[in-house]
Amino acid sequence: MKSFFQGIQWLFEHIILALHGYLRSLELSSWWLANLISWVFVAICCYYTWYWIKQLQSHKDNNEENQDTTAHSFLK
């Protein structure tokens, strides 16, 4: 049973979370490059958040959104 959990540990440390270890070592050698990668991820998240809000607004403008307050039984 111990080897099973050690196998899970190896999977997460060496395969799934390998990028985190790379970024941690990259920050020690090049702070600017490590933060550039972080800012790229932030920019991607900001873009998709803006796109999602834009789609919500278009559905609201077309009256496709159900804003009935009695949609849940506890709100009656």
What are the pLDDT digits (tens) for 8-22? 999 998 999 888 888
What CA–CA distance (Å, rounded) separates 54 from 74?
30
pLDDT band at 36 (very low <50, low <70, confident <90, very high): very high
Q: Is the pTM of this model over 0.75?
A: no
Domain presence at residue 40:
yes
Enclosing domain of residue 53: 2-62
Residue 67 forms part of a structural domain: no
Does residue 68 fall inside a structural domain? Answer: no
Provide the number of structural domains found in the chain: 1
Residue 22 in any domain: the answer is yes
For residue 13 the two structure tokens come to 């440390």
Q: What is the pLDDT averaged over residues 24-53?
A: 92
Q: What is the mean pLDDT of residues 21-33?
A: 88
Q: What is the mean pLDDT of residues 44-62?
A: 94
Residue at 19 is within a domain: yes
Write down the pLDDT at residue 37.
85
Q: Is residue 24 included in any domain, yes or no?
A: yes
